[in-house]
Amino acid sequence: MRVFLALARAESLGRAGASLRLDPATVGRRIARLEEELGRRLFTRSHQGYALTDEGARLLPHAQAAEHAMLAAAAAAGEEGQGLSGQIRVGAPDGCANYLLPQVVARICTENPGLDVQIIALPRVFNLSRREADMAIGVSAPQAGRLSVQKISDYHLHLAASESSLAAHPPIHSLPDLRAHRIIGYIPDMIFDSELDYLAELGLERVALASNSVAVQFNLLRHGAGLGVVHDFALPSAPGLVRILPQAFSLKRSFYLIRHLDDQRVARLNRFAEALHRGLRRELAYLEGLVAQVAAQ
């Protein structure tokens, strides 16, 4: 069943084997043996990979239920008060993954030496049903699927640029003055969530320097390439960046912790989710507090 689930999620012998630490040929043999024992075809094979047949799709929820039961049993068998252990995979948009998660996860792992955490930083929505991650952080609350959604915290964004960039261009006294500066932002057709379409609120259509990665945009700003919208929580890591017209333009967004509904029965994941939620709230408050102190000086 573990091999079946891995192949259903990965749709590739190689990727399924990597997740199970088995070679692809072994994965293929075990699937063939399972199909032979059940007397039905579970996957269709093509040059694009492996896809579930109708029979495989009917088996999938039963295999998932067995997996969740085993995870819950393993968690219940652990000693009360024992530190977290094993591997947990967290998906997050790369702004959060670069400027918040590292320090939060580092603290959790220091308190739980047996814990392995994998952070997947991708500019897209994660599919928890396909087990791309054990839990994910999102910028909007999904409205469909067997998911539990918990709001973590609000966060704020402002326009920012480097001191060198501002010195080399005309002064900015009001929002219309932004048009005399080079704009840095997302690649318009690669914005995966409407909550990230920051520049639309400014009416700026041309993005001279664009990337689907927040980290790339941030580094362009650090090197004086132009101005753009920045998370306040990222600013303490780049002292050379300054906020622009904070009273005239400010955005508020939210982070949500998203989990598969069935995972709420797994004590280990519940404990990690609680620590992650608490740590992110504390780190956000701390970093945005630093920015507020600088602004007040």
Q: What is the CATH number of the domain that holds 206?
A: 3.40.190.290
pLDDT tens digits along 143-193: 877 789 999 999 999 999 999 999 988 999 999 998 889 999 998 888 877
Q: What is the CATH classification number for the domain harbouring 24?
A: 1.10.10.10
pLDDT at 79 over 50: no
pLDDT tens digits along 154-163: 999 999 999 9
Model pTM score? 0.73
How far is Cα 29 from Cα 189, in angstroms, rounded to an integer?
A: 42
At residue 156, the 3 state secondary structure works out as strand
Number of domains composing the chain: 3
How far is Cα 271 from Cα 32, in angstroms, rounded to an integer?
A: 38
Structure-model confidence comparison of residues 224 and 63, the more confident one? 224
Which domain-ending residue is among 77, 109, 132?
Answer: 77
Q: The domain containing residue 241 runs over which residues?
A: 155-252
Question: Quick one: 140 and 269 in the same domain?
Answer: yes
Question: Quick one: 29 and 71 in the same domain?
Answer: yes
pLDDT at 141 over 80: yes
pLDDT at 277 over 90: yes
Provide mean pLDDT across the span 21-26.
90
Percent of the chain scored above 90 by pLDDT? 51
Q: Which DSSP string do the residues of 241-259 spell out, in sequence order?
A: EEEE-TTT--EEEEEEEEE
pLDDT at 81 over 60: no
Query: What does the buried/exposed string (b/e) look like for 83-117 if buried means 16 or more CB atoms within 10 Å of the residue's CB?
Result: ebebebbbbbbbbbbbbbbeebbeebeeebeebeb
Provide mean pLDDT across the span 262-282.
90
